[in-house]
Structure 1
């Protein structure tokens, strides 16, 4: 189990430092319905992370191990190549000006249900996060762990992946006035630097996946 945890930790970290959900959470904390919308986003984010990694874990675990090893290795190579390609594209585009997504402008008008749906979409439908969930699910499912160990690994993956959204939401609920300035600085830093950080992380994780895939042949 420890080896599988080591495999999924960098994937969980990649999701954790993805800026979109963090910036959305910070914007919601500054919105009219800060309490309900930030809670809805957090719940949707956690549920989406669990759902995505569980689906890929179940799919991978349901394939006969003897027949699936080569297939799993090819999938790892393919996912690694896609991540490396995404990292290169993001690196080359890191200095381009990009307007904020239109849904960010509507955050102030969102309620709990809309925020919940947004959290689910960002966690389970966002292509980059879905790639991470697929790689994590394949690593967990191919390891043939017991049900209890699988639950533990998925829980660790989820806690780490969701932490960067959970921490500001919880901290803001506890010390609202003191958190405004730090959250605003964090939002500015993420918007300015995250493209470069994510591109390097994608390249490293992609290379690791390709190496693990080749090693499985």
Structure 2
């Protein structure tokens, strides 16, 4: 299980640093239903990542069910395709960087966050964690890496639990700040939101470039 955790950990960190999700949970925490919606958002995030990860682990792991067998070639090809997809997204994010001194426009749905119910907060987190193209590629990549690293189903699922926990730290951190600092958290969260908003594209471009290159390198090694 150690190999599965070690190989998938960098990808989990990529999911952890998802500026859009962090900004969304910060906006909820400073809104009218802060604590309730923040908890619902974290739950939706965890469920979304865990669901996609479990499906991929079961699918890819089913083709690698012998402890002595090498992973099938198609799993390495899948990692290569996923890596190329991450590189394509990295280029897209880099080109979307705001001009120096300008503030990037926020998605329209962010304006409605203050009126969200807990159900809507859960649904938004599920979509951002599991359906958003960038996160979907990362979660599928991480789960495929786990499934390819070990043939043991119990070890795969154990490594996936670690992956989900690490991938959720970014969303959980603002909630912890809110619960610990109470009314004093507003200025801290506002500063975090402003920094994430300004640097969103650059952060994601660099992360996707590094992770995509890693996936491609691992795939080439396995295929050679």
**Could you say whether these structures have the same fold, taking a TM-score greater than 0.5 normalized by the shorter chain as the test?**
yes
C-alpha deviations, 1:1-35, integer Å up to 9, x for none? 22221221111111111111100100001111112
Aligned residue pairs total 217
Alignment of 1:67-78 (within 5 A): 69-78=72-81
Asked if structure 2 preserves the Cα contact closer than 8 Å seen for 1:18 and 1:198, the reply is yes
Question: In the alignment, which residue of structure 2 is the partner of 1:166?
Answer: 172
d(CA) in 2 for partners of 1:147, 1:63: 11
d(CA) in 1 for partners of 2:198, 2:151: 41
C-alpha deviations, 1:95-145, integer Å up to 9, x for none? 256421221111111111111111111111011100011111111112334
User: How far 1:52 moved relative to its partner?
Assistant: 1.2
What is the Cα-based RMSD across aligned positions, in Å? 1.7
SS of the residue 1:99 aligns to:
coil
Question: In the alignment, which residue of structure 2 is the partner of 1:2?
Answer: 2
Question: In the alignment, which residue of structure 2 is the partner of 1:153?
Answer: 159
Question: In the alignment, which residue of structure 2 is the partner of 1:104?
Answer: 110
d(CA) in 2 for partners of 1:30, 1:103: 16
Question: In the alignment, which residue of structure 2 is the partner of 1:138?
Answer: 144
Moved over 6 A (4+): none
Alignment of 1:45-124 (within 5 A): 45-64=45-64, 69-95=72-98, 98-124=104-130
TM-score, normalising length: structure 1? 0.94
Please list every run of 5 or more consecutive structure 2 residues that lacks an aligned counterpart in the other structure: none
d(CA) in 2 for partners of 1:64, 1:10: 22
SS of the residue 1:32 aligns to:
coil
Please list every run of 5 or more consecutive structure 1 residues that lacks an aligned counterpart in the other structure: none
TM-score, normalising length: structure 2? 0.91
d(CA) in 2 for partners of 1:28, 1:186: 13
